[in-house]
Structure 1
């Protein structure tokens, strides 16, 4: 989020830019005008609002790969095939939607079961949650 003071400073700086360069370009060459405008604007914007590198605490990688059942793998293969087929033919769209719902349901069920098993087998239930 940009602070109000920065926005005001940007307005002042943009007010001092020599925009006559834009008017000297042939009006039919909109691309060249746009590129010059963006270059002038970005230069001022970058001066007022420079990108800063922020140090953020590193997060532990908590994303685990879930075990995938054969049923889920087969459903995913069907889904991938239907996705390719529906790109060229609307007939496959309905089949794709149904298979996508089935696949999402299978993933949700597997994820739920995996977490239940992890919590059930854990010594420290609070930490597992």
Structure 2
């Protein structure tokens, strides 16, 4: 990540094109002037992480665990200050009814409402734009 030249708002990593488009549309609506970058493979994510500094990465839990490349890239991005939003699509959820957030790691059930996704994306934007508020959120 130390070689990252440009900053970007949100990177969405999702192999399902239909779900990728939906999450990108939500992220673009909330993050506004910040670019949303869709990615469908771990290799694409690694390349983006090498060249860009991202504010947030959105990834599905089962896909996040699907390869060592994705796991190590997400870990490197998190260590560099990127927030990670994990959409939990497995039986082992932090919560099915609401989102949870711990030190820049955010968890959202795949059964969450559109409003919950919108609220969580809004909070990540606030944390990205005003890091001094991280202690309060």
Q: TM-score, normalised by structure 1?
A: 0.22
The answer to which structure has the higher helix fraction is 1
The one of the two structures with greater contact order (alpha-carbon pairs below 8 A, sep at least 6) is 2
The answer to which structure has the higher strand fraction is 2
Q: Which protein has the larger Cα radius of gyration, Structure 1 or Structure 2?
A: 1
